[in-house]
Structure 1
Amino acid sequence: MTPVARAAVGALGALAAAGAGAFAYGTFVERKRYTLRTASIPVLPPGASDIRVLHLSDLHMAPWQRDKQAWIRNLARLDPHLVVDTGDNLGHHDGLEGVRAALDVFSGVPGLYVNGSNDYFGPSFKNPLRYFLGPSKHNKKVQRLDTEALESYFDGLGWTNLNNTATTLEVQGTIIDAFGVDDPHRGFDRLDRIPAALDELREEDERGPRLTIGVAHAPYQYVLNSFLTHGAEVVFAGHTHGGQVCVPGYGAIVTNCDIPRKQVKGLSLWRHGFRSAFLNVSAGLGTSIYSPFRFACPPEATLLTLTAAR
């Protein structure tokens, strides 16, 4: 073998070893490196008390994922005033067992939730390369999950279902108008219902000043734009997994929707027309059981502290 050939073989061997190492790290380390992200948003009326909001998303829970369940339970120490769950809680036919183990500790804490596609349909194998062609397609041969049982459980915690509807609640003395849509990735959203739902709320409760928040699973641009049109000042979303596989120094490779890559996770400003709102996209806490891998994008929950605007 010539020196050039030996060098080429050595380079290929090193590349293969690096790839194997990255795969092992993403599967056994990064995927379980649960992280709490914190941020503050100056959005409340002057003089209002702070509101701690725990944002959970994309648990993709399977019953055997005890470490994830324990980590989520431990978040109760943060003593949140409000929990916002942006969907894809189930990751297995028996996923509700794990969801209960994780979230029972939040019973009695006010909460808001919307559904993602994996709250309706079980996971299925997908070719990861297809994500480079745009948002994932829907496999028609998937298992239907017990969505009704999941919603009944959340209702029992004291959380409010915001799928294509709105509600008013008072948290820490601040009146909050909250609205949301069912999963846009599946086309279950009904944005046309939101104006009437908000009008009805405000006709029945004229207290003020108020904060308006919007909640959706998948942050498609048309949804975010509509939310701003309807007056949302803070928007919560998930779905993207933060890209799930990121390149250090570059970021997410795909977003699985049409949101810009730079806003695929974390807190940012979304602008539409002459309006702007704070947008928090959670990178989520799980992955599909068929693609249990993360790289440069650890699983996360977010504690947002809403403070009085100056």
Structure 2
Amino acid sequence: MTRASSVHPALIALGAVGAAGSAAAVWGIGIERYLFTVREVEASALPPGSAPLRILHLSDAHMAPWQHRKQDWLASLAQLKPDLIVNTGDNLGHREGLDGIRRAFDPFAGIPGVFVHGSNDVNEPSPRNPFKYFTGPSKHTSAPRLLDTDAMDRYFTDDLGWTGLDNTAARLSVAGRDIDLFGVNDAHRDWDRLDDLPDAIAALGPAPAGTPVLGVTHAPYQRVLNGFIDLGADAILGGHTHGGQVCLPGLGALVANCDIPLKQAKGLSTWTHGDRAVPLNVSAGCGHSIYAPVRFACRPEATLLTLTARA
């Protein structure tokens, strides 16, 4: 007589969970973080009668010198021929990251652009437990090693012709028309100075009728978004969140690393404050910390945002 053997259902379930977890890790670490994509969206934000404005929104490259696939993909985006490039920070992910940024961004020379800083344009990333992001926004390290921010900024301004918007404003000529822009330094590190912007905007002088106004921030904290609307922004662009970086399919981001609602941690939405509502584009970014090399249900991206005239 033979005796039937059985496996406890709990062991079967545990094995299934382990297999699923291993498969997810292989996908997120070995595959999805290289599935670079361009997200194309459109929003009505410009004064009536305005011609469309095509913006290439780049964010959170967290570049390391050996990340050649990311560099090649970013360089290829120059073929989109945008009217304007908006870079919302966290470009560097390594002390030698500027080498990779140069390789990635050299083809953008001559295309009008603006940039603001994230903390990883200033401070070198450090090892940390990624699970702590689920307990709330990340904290500062007490004594971070500094990156060569000045060298990066000289490359952006002198080689590419871009304009820095940290706590200031600028008026650019883009595709034959004036555009007013203002921005803040990284609000996640409390480096934003919203109170500096009214004087910076006033210093530009009266704008020609129908001049679009764009607000640019690295971290889309609610105080910044509300402040931008109060200052007259027609549209707002931000980064920082990585779109959650590790998301649940069908549910979306589990964390945003700031106080923006999770449903607005990635993509194009509408931000409402007072009696105004404006388009808000939050980039999921195209990189990750070298200490957290994973993306799941949140592909690395750039955004081609076309702003059109309001009715």
Normalised to the residue count of structure 1, the TM-score between the two structures is 0.96
1:171 aligns with 2:174: yes
Whether the 8 Å contact between 2:50 and 2:210 is mirrored in structure 1 is: no
What is the letter of the counterpart of residue 176 of structure 1?
A: I
After superposition, residues 133-148 of structure 1 pair within 5 angstroms as 133-148=135-150
| Correspondence for 2:228 | 227
Partner of 1:151: 153
Distance 2:20 2:139 in 1: 31
Secondary structure at the counterpart of residue 307 of structure 1: strand
Distance 2:207 2:152 in 1: 33
- CA distances 1:80-107 after superposition (whole Å, capped 9, x unpaired): 1100000000000000000000000000
Quote the residue 2:134 is aligned against.
132
- Whether the 8 Å CA contact 1:212–1:231 is kept in 2: the answer is yes
Quote the RMSD (CA, aligned, Å): 1.5
Q: Pairwise mapping of residues 98-247 of structure 1 onto structure 2 (< 5 A)?
A: 98-156=100-158, 157-201=160-204, 203=205, 205-247=206-248
SS in 1 for 2:73: helix
Look up the SS of the partner of 1:210 in the other structure: coil
Q: What is the one-letter code of the residue matched to 1:189?
A: D
Unaligned runs of 5+ in 2: none
Which residue in the other structure is 2:54 paired with? 52
Secondary structure in structure 1 of the residue aligned to 2:212: strand
Partner of 1:28: 30
- Cα offset, 1:135, TM superposition: 0.4
C-alpha distance 4-71 of structure 1, shift in aligned 2 (>3 A): same
Identity %: 56
Decide whether aligned partners of structure 1 residues 82 and 246 sit closer, same or farther in structure 2, where only a CA change above 3 A counts: same
Change (3 A) 1:113 1:11: same
Alignment-mate amino acid for residue 288 of structure 2:
T
CA distance in 2, matches of 1:222, 1:123: 26
The correspondence for 1:15, drawn from 14, 17, 27, is: 17
2:154 and 2:5 map into 1 onto residues whose CA distance is 68
Cα distance, 1:265 vs structure 2: 0.6
Q: Which residue of 2 aligns with 1:273?
A: 274
Structure 1: 5+ residue stretches without partners: none
Deviations 1:45-82 (A, max 9, x none): 33332221100000000000000000011111100110
Deviation per CA, 1:5-32, whole angstroms, max 9, x where unpaired? Answer: 5322222112111101100100011111
Offset at residue 4 of structure 1 (A): 7.1
TM-score, normalising length from structure 2?
Answer: 0.96
Structure 1 CA distance for aligned equivalents of residues 144 and 269 of structure 2: 35
SS in 2 for 1:103: helix
Distance in 1 separating the partners of 2:289 and 2:64: 9
C-alpha contact (below 8 Å) 1:174/1:211 kept by paired residues: no
In the other structure, the counterpart of 2:283 is 282
Report how far residue 174 of structure 1 moved. Answer: 3.0
- Residue 82 of structure 1: aligned partner: 84
Paired with 2:83 and 2:262, the residues of 1 have a C-alpha distance of: 31
